[in-house]
Structure 1
Amino acid sequence: MYDYTDFDEAFVRSRVAQFRGQVERRLDGSLTEDEFRPLRLMNGLYLQLHAYMLRVAIPYGTINPRQMRQLAMIADRWDKGYGHFTTRQNIQFNWPKLPDVPDILGALADVGMHAIQTSGNCVRNVTADHFAGAAADEIEDPRPYAELLRQWSTDHPEFQFLPRKFKIAITGAPNDRAVTRAHDIGLRMVRNDRGEAGFEVIVGGGLGRTPMIGTTVRDFLPVADLLPYVEAVLSVYNTLGRRDNKYKARIKITVHETGADEIARMIEARFAELRPLFGGADQALLAEIRQAFAPPAFRNAPVDAHEAARAADPVYRAWADTNLAPHRNDQYAIVTISLKAHGATPGDATSDQMRLIADLAETFGHSEIRISHEQNVILPHVHKSDLPALHAALSGARLGTANVGLISDIIACPGMDYCALATARSIPVAQEIATHFEALKLEHDIGPLKIKISGCINACGHHHVGHIGILGLDRAGVENYQITLGGDGSEDAAIGEKTGPGFAYDEIVPAIERILRAYLDLREGPGETFLMAWRRVGMAPFKAALYGEASNRHAA
């Protein structure tokens, strides 16, 4: 993985020193909160319901054991012994004290980490496929391109004060695990007719109060043109994007109001102006960056231990069926470590769990760790002979739950337990759904299912692209939960369709059960997933199941 250069080190250290002075001036009253707010946001520091929250970048979800141990240390020393991994492949600390934040940033800098551009109207943390560099279906590892974009966008003088925040996602595989079509710019690696690798460029996706699937503005962009083309997109947006209304300031609105064809024309015109200015410097830098992402030295050994454990142990077999993914090396597997034990807070990891993951990555995983946008942790390179020992170690720390991709593997934002913007709770709903279906022993019968929960219209829980999406709202001071069905964050991305009136807090879990029992009744065998069944039959049978027994209550 990429390590800081001397330039990176000096840049981050100078930002830490600068922010230390700003914090001192806030504490002595020289800066008001209104004056301090934009300064702290530039360094990832939010003021939440109960305390400050620090959001730390994990660029394209890649982290090493030393960094993971440092996060554990920060959680113990300056927080409450845990961290929260987010849908942006960041980690959040929910309880830092303001005087301690410069020291936290200094500790992050010690291991090549920072919180720069994790907030503000700038290019945020670039996210990527969490199986990058390992997946069997991958055309090319997208992380060198993500690192190139990170270096280009950090402190870019033209793009620090955009009309609104800007999010880029990149995947190197045809199977989209990075939700690229729901980002301001989505980059999907493809091959042209000559077999050359390049990018499909998707612009104007986004969720929130106006969810939209992005528009393809280039079917094939040569990899050598990536930076000038992305800069062209940002330049057009920075010129056209609205600054009079923050709810209409995202590029998705710009594309909608200007028209996709006209936006594409303007991007191409700006690209023609910018391309000659790069002069190959970006390609020289990319060549250097690529060297940092060389694959590990894979070993050649028998895989009998894995096969024997799978045949003898049903608990291990269930874990192997759900938490392992195909690796490009047949002797290896990609391991997803679930941070969704039944009843746990989705995405939370204790300091002890973080340290264990770091140890296991060193012992079994070539010292590589990924964070997924689905709020889990990935060991991308594990030899199959080591899987039984790895599973045993994970199980002893409540990290061996066999539920990846199932109903309890829920994406959930922090909701009203933490967030100042939230209008309803998310975490308790996720916990109750997980424990409810575990008690019913239906989880594995239901099969692949993505439930996503947001505690407000900002959609940090990606509910719009959940197979079942849940949106918590405030209705006259009472929590009310809307349900959407049929959303999809894959290469076939779709926005979910609302079922109808929402449900009170104590009604939402029974409502989800009615939906899923209807699915089990109507599916054409266990091979038909919920999403497949939805696409076959549509809304009607699910709506009948949801509201039939409560039609009088929901008639309005």
Structure 2
Amino acid sequence: MYRYDEFDATLVAERVSQFRGQVNRRLSGELTEEQFKPLRLMNGVYLQLHAYMLRVAIPYGTLNGKQLRKLAHIARTYDKGYGHLTTRQNIQFNWPALVDVPDILDELAEVEMHAIQTSGNCIRNTTSDQYAGASAEEVEDPRPYAEMIRQWSTFHPEFSYLPRKFKIAVTAADRDRAAVKFHDIGLRLYKNDAGETGFEVFVGGGLGRTPYVGQTVRAFLPKKHLLSYLEAILRVYNQQGRRDNKYKARIKILVNAEGINDFTNAVETEWNAIKDSGIDLPREEVERIHAYFAAPDFEPLPATSTAFETRASEEPEFARWAKTNLAAHKASGYSIVNISVKPIGGIPGDITDSQMEAVAEIAEQYSLDEVCVTHEQNLVLPHVKKDDLYAVWRALKAAGLATANIGLVSDIIACPGLDYCSLANTRSIPVAQRISERFADLEQQEELGELKIKISGCINACGHHHAGHIGILGVDKKGEEFYQVTLGGSGAEDASIGEIAGRGLSSEQVVDAVENLVNFYRKNRQDNERFLDTYRRLGADPFKEALYDAA
């Protein structure tokens, strides 16, 4: 993983010192909340419904044990003993006192972490495939390119005050685990027919009140031109994006208004004017960054593990966990371990200080000191020997982190909703908890197969409901909490926007309605097809009828 150099360290230290002065001025009354708002947002501090919230950047989701232990310490010392994993692979602390935030940022700097550009109208944390560097599917590790984007975009003077926030994601596998088509810019690294590796560039994706699937602005971009092409896109957006209406200020609105062909022509014109001006990195710098992500020295191991297979045959609970929570690793004798942070009845994405410390210890002992946060609010141990899987499972189980539900109906993405957020119309967390409790039987979940439920407490779509196989959107109806259901969304390589099923459902009705959908799917699927595939085969109407059955 990348390590700070002297420039990173100086930059972060100076920002913390600057913000400490700004906080002191706010606490003394010298700054009003309105004057303080743009300053705190530049440092990842939000004012939520009940308290300030601090969002900490985790570039492309990658952490080591020392960093995770620091996050545990912050949760315990400055918060209420937990953190919340986000869909941008970051972590949020919901209850820090404003007076303590500069001290928190100082402590984060000790382990090469910060909260810069986790909010505001700037380029946010670049996300990537949570299996990056480990996946058997990837063309190459996408994280060096995410790191190049991080360095290029941090405090970029031209893009510090964009029309709206801007999100970039990078993947290098055919299976898209980073939802690249729902980003302002999505990048898919692949090999073309000539055997060259480069990027397919998507632009104009996004969720919120006007969801769009990103469109291809360039089918193949040589890797060496990555930064200059991104700069061209950002320049066109910065110059032409609307600033008179924040609801129409995202790049997706510009792309839709101009049309992809005209937008592409504008980008290509800008790129041709700047691509030879020294924006792209020299080969030596590219190689330097790649060196930070060199593959570990994996031990030469047999593809199968007798110890693993014996334990799996003896303990059905371990075997179920292994079936749902493991993924194929590129190195023989290793596995990728998914850690569910979605216990039945729990709050999706919340992890306690003691659980963070447990994961840090497991990562240090069994995963080459590496952990990754996923955009689905879970964790990954990327490099675990198959011989060690049983020991890892036992340690996770002791920490309450061994739920065998990755990708299943109870692995729900949910925003904090009205329990925390001042923008929300409804509560998301209780609905997620009740749905997971309704489908608590893990054997039943496994039989249902992949089923993505995503819940947002308002139209801003922080819970990605548009991209859920079943999406749930909280709406206010004359002061009461209601929930609108969308069907058929996907955030994967087959990206699609869910269709609104019909009228909103009350809090008392929504869980029963989800069960109606699941029961209809179970009765009508063919050859163990996914919920999404059954929906696409049968169409919306029978699912809508099932949804409102007895509602």
Q: Deviations over 1:487-513 (max 9, x none)?
A: 011111000111111100011100000
Partner of 2:385: 383
What do the CA deviations read for 1:493-541 (whole angstroms, capped 9, x no partner)? Answer: 000111111100011100000000000110113x211111111111122
CA contact under 8 A between 1:415 and 1:426: conserved in structure 2?
Answer: yes
> Is residue 536 of structure 2 the alignment partner of residue 538 of structure 1?
no
**2:60–2:128 contact (8 Å) kept in structure 1:** yes
Deviation (angstroms), 1:281:
3.6
Question: Displacement of 1:280 after TM fit?
Answer: 5.5
Partner of 1:510: 512
TM-score of the superposition, structure 1-length normalised? 0.97
Q: Is the 1:72–1:354 contact (alpha carbons within 8 Å) kept by the matching residues of 2? A: yes
Aligned to 1:270: 270
**d(CA) in 2 for partners of 1:2 and 1:218?**
29
Question: Which whole-Å deviations, capped at 9, do the CAs of 1:161-186 have from their partners, x for residues lacking one?
Answer: 00000000000111111000000000
Separation (CA, whole Å) in 1 of partners of 2:11 and 2:145? 21
* Equivalent in the alignment of 2:242: 242
Q: Tell me which residue corresponds to 2:62.
A: 62
AA aligned to 1:414 is P
CA contact (8 A) 1:466 1:485 kept: yes
Please, which of 370, 395, 400 is the counterpart of residue 368 of structure 1? 370
The Cα shift of 1:192 comes to 1.2
Which deviations, in whole Å up to 9, do the C-alpha atoms of 1:120-139 show, x marking residues without a partner? Answer: 10000000000000111100
Contact 1:169 1:179 (8 Å CA) reproduced? yes
- Match for 2:394: what amino acid? A
Are the aligned partners of 1:301 and 1:385 in contact in 2 as well (CA < 8 Å)? no
Equivalents in 2 of 1:498, 1:438: separation in Å?
27
Question: Partners of 1:19 and 1:252 in 2: how far apart?
Answer: 32
The residue aligned with 1:424 is 426
Corresponding residue for 1:554?
A: none
Closer, same or farther in 2 for the Cα pair 1:108/1:544, shift >3 Å? same
Q: Distance in 2 between matches of 1:301 and 1:256?
A: 51
Q: Offset at 1:279?
A: 6.5
Tell me the percent identity: 58
Letter matched to residue 149 of structure 1: I
The residue number in structure 1 matching 2:101 is 101
| Residue 27 of structure 1 pairs with residue 11 of structure 2 | no
Deviation at 1:152, TM superposition (A): 0.3
Aligned residue pairs: how many? 549
CA contact (8 A) 2:516 2:549 kept: no
Separation in 1, partners of 2:294, 2:301:
21
Matches of 2:64 and 2:442, distance apart in 1: 38
Task: Name the amino acid aligned to 1:32.
Answer: T
CA contact (8 A) 1:410 1:453 kept: yes
Structure 1 segment 412-491 matched on structure 2, within 5 A: 412-438=414-440, 442-491=444-493
Match of 1:358 in 2: 360
Provide runs of 4+ in structure 1 moved above 6 Å. Answer: none
Q: Which amino acid aligns with 1:6?
A: E
1:151-550 paired onto structure 2 within 5 Å: 151-278=151-278, 281-301=281-301, 303-438=305-440, 442-525=444-527, 527-550=528-551
Cα displacement (A) at 1:219: 0.5
Q: Deviations over 1:253-297 (max 9, x none)?
A: 000111110100010011111111117645432211100001111
CA apart distance, 1:301: 3.9
For structure 2, the 5+ residue unaligned runs are none
Deviations 1:430-483 (A, max 9, x none): 010001111596312211111000000000111101111100111110111011
SS in structure 2 at match of 1:276: coil
Structure 2 contact 225–280 (Cα < 8 Å) conserved: no
For residues 165 and 435 of structure 2, the distance between their equivalents in structure 1, rounded to whole angstroms, comes to 32
Q: Is the 8 A contact 2:404 2:442 kept in 1?
A: no
SS in 2 for 1:188: strand
* Secondary structure in 1 matching 2:365: helix
Q: Is the 8 A contact 1:227 1:282 kept in 2?
A: no
Task: Indicate conservation of the 8 Å contact 2:325/2:405, yes or no.
Answer: yes
Distance 2:463 2:283 in 1: 36
The one-letter amino acid paired with 2:204 is: G
- Partner Cα separation in structure 2 for residue 132 and residue 440 of structure 1: 28
Contact 2:224 2:281 in 1 (8 A): no
**In 1, Cα distance between equivalents of 2:182 and 2:139:** 21
| Aligned residue identity for 1:61 | G
